[in-house]
A and B are shown apart, each in its own frame.
Chain A
Amino acid sequence: MPGPMRSSERLAVLALGCLACGIAWADEPAQWLERMNQALTTRNYDGTFSHWHGGKVEMLRIIHRVQDGTVSERLASLDGSGREFIRTGAQLACYLPDKRTVVVEQRPLQEPLVGFPAVSEQTASFYDIREVGRTRLNRRDTHLITVTPKDEFRYGYRLWIDDKTAMPLKTQLCDAQGHVIEQIVFADLTLSSHITDAAFRPDVSTEGFQWVRDGGGPPRAPPPGTLAWGAVRLPPGFRMTVRSAQTLPGSSGPVDHLVFTDGVASVSVFVEIQRTVNATPAGVAESATLGSSSAFSTVVDGHKVTAVGEVPPATVQFIATQVKAEGPAPVGARDH
């Protein structure tokens, strides 16, 4: 009869158990999503892809580099408006040739630049995540992973993830019925160890452009009388993960930024004092769509509340209409 297990033996068994779990978990479809997120955020790559939405196809180029801990990314239209996004560290510049404007957002350094949601066990309550097959795409072996929403509060994905690199070679965003809303397919994708700084310069000449910048800097303590905002109710599975005050480019005052996520989709809610120019009349709400994303704006207690997210229109409307002032904001910097 074996005696009691020694500590070292227990540790060894535990380690083996963890290893076994790790191996099993590595094959899980959810793990492929994590690998994909890792690849998209940590690898150096330069690719051209087609973006389809609403019957319109446009080619874009994306360049992504992580060098000395600094993330640089450039996303540019190759045959359309000439708009570009260039991110360097905590700064994101949006070049709008059609507006002759450059919008620059500078995130506070202590604020995490990437706060995207992580797939968790809870995610499985609201999405069915499966690997439905392995297919060849562009002569590469891919895992076809489907992320299917279980209700109509959110969208789903079909992802063709490269077996070797975990890069998504093809992505479809689908509504609750499985209809494709948006598709991205890489025509070419190069993963390289080094990408030069020149790759992150805009093609567009910014001569004569208006530059709209925010003040940057750390989150500020709310002035006396400032209200703290929150959602009375949320769609199932959504929770608030970030609450911060920031100054958006061109904004006259601080804007409260609340972030709600279900682990896959996220919705930002921006609350700012209603401006007199272009003010939305009381009782009037505004809605918009931007590709697969939706926006909904309404006025609450003299504040403009705008929800933006990669979710169906009804969801941003639901969340925006549930945002209320919870009382005076606490003295001191806002929580995150």
Chain B
Amino acid sequence: MNEELDSQLSAMFDDELPPAECELLARRLSRDELLKARWGRYAVVGAVIRAERGVRLNAPLAGRVSAAISVEPELAAAAVTPVQRRAGMSWWQPVAGGALAAGVAAASVLWLRAQAPLPGADFSAARAPAVMAVPVAKVSDSYVVPPTLSVRPMVAPSTELANYVVAHSMVSSPVARRNLLSSFITSEPGAEEPQEDARAHAQ
């Protein structure tokens, strides 16, 4: 995706794109799967960031985008909410150096490690859908770190995490439950156990 298009998309999000260009871009959004996926991705990251900063997209833009992305109405609905716009505040800002959104990046790092397929296995991505987009972490380098949020690896005692996993497994689909419990069983023993909690267990 070229920089000009990227810039247009950004401006559209900030409602700074002239109406005529906005209309053209909206039309392109409706037929360009990659662009649509990028927009959807902005919605994910933006929603998270907005939740912390209280910034919302404005209503006119919401209407235009909703109309454009008719194929994914729910996605559009997620990206647009009532106005709480503050002049000059953009939740999406291009950053030359490629800073990461701390929250999203931290949450993504761990699972990205797991994406290497098993050598020699039938893990072809040839059936990957056309709609699919770049992973969140790959594009999050265009976002500004929210200053108030700090995300760290979870240090919950493993028994507490086990509680949550077990309770959640009760409401998961059969396949998901099997995957979840298998993952728990095969996870590194004691990886999250704080020392003081381990002492408490030993008592």
Residue of A at shortest CB range from B189? A98
CA distance A159 to B127 in the complex (A): 13
B contact residues, range: 35 or more
Contact with A along B151-175 (1 / 0, CB 8 A): 1111111111111111111111111
Which of these, B123, B149, B171, contacts A180 with CB under 8 Å? B123
Report whether B171 and A115 are in contact in the complex, using a CB–CB cutoff of 8 Å. yes
CA distance A60 to B186 in the complex (A): 9
Contact with A along B63-95 (1 / 0, CB 8 A): 000000000101101100100000000000000
Residues from 170 to 195 in B contacting A, C-beta threshold 8 Å:
170-187, 189-190, 192-194
Chain B residues with CB below 8 A from A321, complex form: 48, 51-52
B125 at the interface (CB under 8 A from A): yes
Which of these, B104, B128, B182, contacts A178 with CB under 8 Å? B128
Residues from 178 to 192 in A contacting B, C-beta threshold 8 Å:
178-184
CA distance A53 to B158 in the complex (A): 20
Report whether A58 and B186 are in contact in the complex, using a CB–CB cutoff of 8 Å. yes
A2 at the interface (CB under 8 A from B): no
Q: Which of A9-17, A19-27, A265-273 contacts B (4 or more CB under 8 A)?
A: A265-273
Chain A residues with CB below 8 A from B17, complex form: none
Tell me how many residue pairs across A and B have CB atoms closer than 8 Å.
320
With A146-B127, A286-B152 as known contacts, state yes or no: A173 contacts B173, CB within 8 Å.
no
B16 at the interface (CB under 8 A from A): no
With A287-B153, A293-B180 as known contacts, state yes or no: A266 contacts B172, CB within 8 Å.
yes
Report whether B201 and A100 are in contact in the complex, using a CB–CB cutoff of 8 Å. yes
Report whether B150 and A295 are in contact in the complex, using a CB–CB cutoff of 8 Å. no
Residue of A at shortest CB range from B79? A236
Which of these, A81, A266, A291, A294, contacts B173 with CB under 8 Å? A266
Report whether A182 and B181 are in contact in the complex, using a CB–CB cutoff of 8 Å. no
Report whether B40 and A151 are in contact in the complex, using a CB–CB cutoff of 8 Å. yes
A162 at the interface (CB under 8 A from B): no
Report whether B185 and A288 are in contact in the complex, using a CB–CB cutoff of 8 Å. no
Chain B residues with CB below 8 A from A115, complex form: 170-171
A313 at the interface (CB under 8 A from B): yes
Residue of A at shortest CB range from B180? A293
Q: Which of A194-202, A221-229, A249-257, A326-334 contacts B (4 or more CB under 8 A)?
A: A249-257
Report whether B173 and A56 are in contact in the complex, using a CB–CB cutoff of 8 Å. no
Report whether B107 and A287 are in contact in the complex, using a CB–CB cutoff of 8 Å. yes
Report whether B151 and A233 are in contact in the complex, using a CB–CB cutoff of 8 Å. no
Chain A residues with CB below 8 A from B164, complex form: 248, 268, 270, 295, 306, 308
B11 at the interface (CB under 8 A from A): no
CA distance A278 to B200 in the complex (A): 12
A1 at the interface (CB under 8 A from B): no
Contact with B along A294-323 (1 / 0, CB 8 A): 111100000000101110111111100110
Report whether A310 and B186 are in contact in the complex, using a CB–CB cutoff of 8 Å. no
Chain B residues with CB below 8 A from A152, complex form: 37, 40-41, 44, 133, 135-136
CA distance A257 to B24 in the complex (A): 45
Which of these, B136, B160, B178, contacts A75 with CB under 8 Å? B178
A99 at the interface (CB under 8 A from B): yes
A5 at the interface (CB under 8 A from B): no
Chain B residues with CB below 8 A from A284, complex form: 150-152
A18 at the interface (CB under 8 A from B): no
With A75-B181, A248-B167 as known contacts, state yes or no: A286 contacts B176, CB within 8 Å.
no
B121 at the interface (CB under 8 A from A): yes
Report whether A157 and B180 are in contact in the complex, using a CB–CB cutoff of 8 Å. no
Residue of B at shortest CB range from A127? B129
Residues from 202 to 229 in A contacting B, C-beta threshold 8 Å:
210, 212
With A92-B166, A270-B164, A321-B51 as known contacts, state yes or no: A75 contacts B159, CB within 8 Å.
no
With A246-B167, A287-B154, A291-B180 as known contacts, state yes or no: A41 contacts B175, CB within 8 Å.
no
Chain A residues with CB below 8 A from B176, complex form: 116, 265-266, 310
Min CB–CB distance A277 → chain B (angstroms): 8
CA distance A177 to B115 in the complex (A): 10
Chain A residues with CB below 8 A from B165, complex form: 290, 293, 308
A37 at the interface (CB under 8 A from B): yes
A109 at the interface (CB under 8 A from B): no
Give 15 pairs: A residue, B residue, CB < 8 Å, sorted on A.
A40-B178, A53-B186, A75-B182, A85-B184, A151-B72, A152-B37, A152-B41, A177-B128, A178-B127, A233-B81, A249-B159, A278-B196, A290-B180, A291-B187, A314-B136
Residues of B within 8 A of A (CB): 37, 40-41, 44-45, 47-48, 51-52, 72, 74-75, 77-78, 81, 103-104, 106-108, 110-111, 113-118, 121, 123, 125-129, 131-136, 148-187, 189-190, 192-194, 196-198, 201-202
